[in-house]
A and B are shown apart, each in its own frame.
Chain A
Amino acid sequence: MIARVASVERHGVYIRMSVEAPEIARAAQPGQFAMLRVADTSSTDPLLRRPLSLHDRNASEVEFFFSVAGRGTDILAGKKPGDRLDVLGPLGRGFALDENMTGRTACCVGGGRGIAPLYFLARELKARGASVHILYGGRSAADVPLREKFEAAGYQTFVSTDDGSFGFHGLVTDLFEKQAAAERPDRLYACGPDAMMKTLAASAARLGIPAWFSLESVMGCGFGACWGCVHRILRDGTPEWVKVCEDGPVFAGPDIVWETGP
Chain B
Amino acid sequence: MDLSADLGFLRLKNPVIAASGTFGYGPEFEPFINLEKLGGFVVKGLYFDPRPGNPPPRLVETPSGLINAIGLQGIGVRAFAEKILPRLRDLDTAVIANVCGADDEEYVAVAEFLSREKGLAALELNISCPNIRKEGACPAFSPDATRRLVARVKAATPLPLITKLSPNVTDIASVALAAEDGGTDAVSLINTLLAMAIDVETRRPKLANVYGGLSGPAVRPVALRMVHQAASRLRVPVIGMGGIMTGRDAVEFIIAGARAVQVGTANFVDPAAAVRIAAEIESFCRERNIPRAADLVGTLRSS
List A residues at the B interface (Cβ < 8 Å): 37, 44-49, 88, 217-221, 223-231, 240-241, 246
Contacts and interface: CB of A to CB of B under 8 A. Distances in A.
Contacts of A240: 52
Contacts of A225: 22-24, 28-29, 267-268, 271
A47 B64 CA distance: 5
Interface in B180-213: none
8 closest cross-chain pairs (CB), A and B: A228-B59, A221-B268, A225-B24, A44-B64, A44-B217, A224-B28, A45-B64, A228-B58
Interface residues of B, number: 33
A231 B267 contact: no
Nearest to A240: B52
14 contacts: A44-B245, A47-B66, A48-B269, A88-B271, A218-B57, A223-B31, A224-B28, A225-B267, A226-B68, A227-B58, A227-B73, A231-B56, A241-B53, A246-B28
A44 B217 CA distance: 7
Contacts of B63: 45
Interface centre among A45, A48, A227 (most CB of B within 10 A): A227
A228 B217 contact: no
A229 to B, nearest CB: 8
Contacts of A49: 268-269
Contacts of A230: 53, 56, 58, 73
Interface string B218-245: 0000000000000000000000000001
Nearest to A226: B268
A228 B66 CA distance: 11
Contact of B65 (A47, A218, A241): A47
A188 to B, nearest CB: 25
Contacts of A229: 56, 59
Contacts of B265: 47
Given A227-B44, A228-B58, 14 more contacts: A44-B217, A45-B64, A47-B265, A88-B271, A218-B57, A221-B267, A223-B32, A225-B271, A226-B268, A229-B59, A230-B53, A230-B73, A240-B52, A246-B28
Nearest to A88: B271
B85 to A, nearest CB: 18
A33 to B, nearest CB: 15
A44 B271 contact: no
B139 interface: no
B25 to A, nearest CB: 9
A45 B58 CA distance: 19
Contacts of A246: 28
Contact of A220 (B31, B44, B59, B73): B59
A47 B52 contact: no
B73 A218 contact: no
B36 interface: no
Q: Which of A48, A88, A221, A246 has the most CB of B within 10 A?
A: A221
Contacts of A228: 56, 58-59, 68, 70
B61 interface: yes
